[in-house]
Structure 1
Amino acid sequence: MNMVQALNSAMDVMLTRDPDVLIFGEDVGYFGGVFRCTAGLQAKHGRRRVFDAPIAEGGIVAAAVGMGAYGLRPVVEIQFADYILPAFDQLVSEASRLRYRSGGEFTAPITVRSPCGGGIHGGQTHSQSPEALFTHISGLKTVMPSNPYDAKGLLIAAIEDNDPVIFLEPKRLYNGPFDGYHDRPLQPWAAHPAGEVPDDYYRIELGKAAIARAGEAVTVLTYGTMLHVSLAAVAECGIDAEVIDLRTLFPLDIETISASIRKTGRCVIVHEASRTSGFGAELGQSVQEQCFFHLEAPILRVTGWDTPYPHAQEWQYFPGPKRVVHALKRVMED
């Protein structure tokens, strides 16, 4: 399966297993979603379980919060992460706080899916990576998978979770892996170890990172599309880097991160979003607090630019392997 198929399979499995699961959002019903992640689900499970919503993100999430409080498990799609901001108040003021403000009497077991990041030349309104906005909000969990197998297992875990989960899906990974340089699949996912996706139920625990490549010299912390960019960079420069796929940004698997950096003594952080106040800043400070006496060099970040998202220079904006290689060589020199 590619990631689109894996996500579709996860929702199909949960609609079949749990009558309280609902899917709704912009164009997710008859059309099957702009990226086809919900294709065929309405025909199979009916219009009461999979249905379209108006282009009103605040209303979509508000309805999901009410459904969750009632006992349902809604999975909503915001067509692009750039358009999730009209729903931000509902996520922050209602969904994230419902369990605590009600003393546990009510919960918001909702999953908000949304495509994020670049790769379609969508510029400022279709290509942003807003993950840091959500990791700051207590009560929200934030997930970004890097491959189809993880995408299905993490989405099932998110749907089953009793708290709200923001599930961000990198658009460049929807249809297969790429070499970190080009916006095209290199090989079928069936030939890739992470691409063999079971048809039936399985889950991956939220809050657990994965070691994508073991190494001894430096730790690379990354997630989503940038995992593949980082692996391409490591292959190019030959440095024995340990590459960690965070998978869940909050809650963060600080134990796996700390264990790696205590071994390597060096850390490079790679993410697509802009640099200032990006999630890499939180990662770097967490590493500093946990591993200060084990660090042999400053923590380095490779990120997007601190500019409004440039349409014409999209591929220059992305951190590419060459920028990651430069950071890896720098950190090894210190």
Structure 2
Amino acid sequence: MSATGIGADGGAPRVDWVDVAKGVCIVLVVMMHSTLGVEKAAGEVGWMHHVVAFARPFRMPDFFLISGLFLALVIDRDWRTYIDRKVVHFAYFYVLWLLIQGAVKWPGLAMSDGLGAVAHQFALSLIDPFGTLWFIYLLPIFFVFAKLVRRVPPLLVLAFAALLESLRVQTGWTVPDEFCARLFYVMLGWYAAPLIFRFAEFARRRPALALGGLAAWALANAAAVQGGVSEWVGVSLALGVAGAFAIITVAALIAGTPVGEPLRYAGERSIVIYLAFFLPMAATRMLLLKLGVIPDIGTVSALVTAAGVILPLVLEWMVTRTGWGTFLFVRPKAFWIDRRPRQTTAPVAA
């Protein structure tokens, strides 16, 4: 995708293991939504439930940590450019895909509760993120916060963010709840970026040691989840950081290999998948459960996950090849507030 597409930062380089890590994260996110949706519709739990539970401590922490990795490259830009790249950019895709998802969901709401209910739902979605789109909504808020505190000592910001995470804020409003829960990881990705890149290189050069560390982490993470302590104050933060570094380790080890290539491809387009997976996921779930040809709920969940990852990539490929519907994944110039030419370096999503 060109530098005007989703995630264009106008200068942030592509790094193979970063894209692989994003690929792992987006698969885990789609897997979670797919599995829980299938199990709720079917009224039973499948084997995929255990995979989702294992990934819960680190699934979103890693996504947010990686989102902060390249902030140092853009944080000192003037406010107009920064807002264009980091706020307006994501706001465009949020509103667009809110309308697309609403076009599927809201007709039924209109028939049952009237057009007023649809208007209320739309207005509410502007202040409380709609469904699966909350990640896109929160990113600009984190990015603005980062720019506002760029002169504040990093340890002070990290301590503040860790405190927010420990408070377990539960207002029922997605914005403050997720901001408090995820801020630490975005800030850590920003501040610790040099360390993280050195860590990935170390893991790549010492595969045996890296694999041993992964084994120890997997046992500890599984024990915490099974023991019911993964959500404890302090434990959740430790598991989130450890899990994020575990995904980075895996990504560093498999980047550039045949195993890592599909994940790199998906990770390079992770926001495309995040925006578009809802519709194919829901359609595949309904189709498979209605047909009933696959009795195993875990297998159904796996197939729905695959559809949720692959079909958005097919859509993006078709858009790129035909030039039709480019507005779905490339922000039109009419929605830029900073229209100075962008650098042509390949973009880094989010």
Structure with bigger helix share is: 2
Q: Please state which band the TM-score falls in when normalised by the shorter chain.
A: under 0.3
| TM-score using structure 2 length | 0.23
The TM-score normalised by the length of structure 1 is 0.24
Greater strand share, structure number: 1
The one of the two structures with greater contact order (alpha-carbon pairs below 8 A, sep at least 6) is: 2
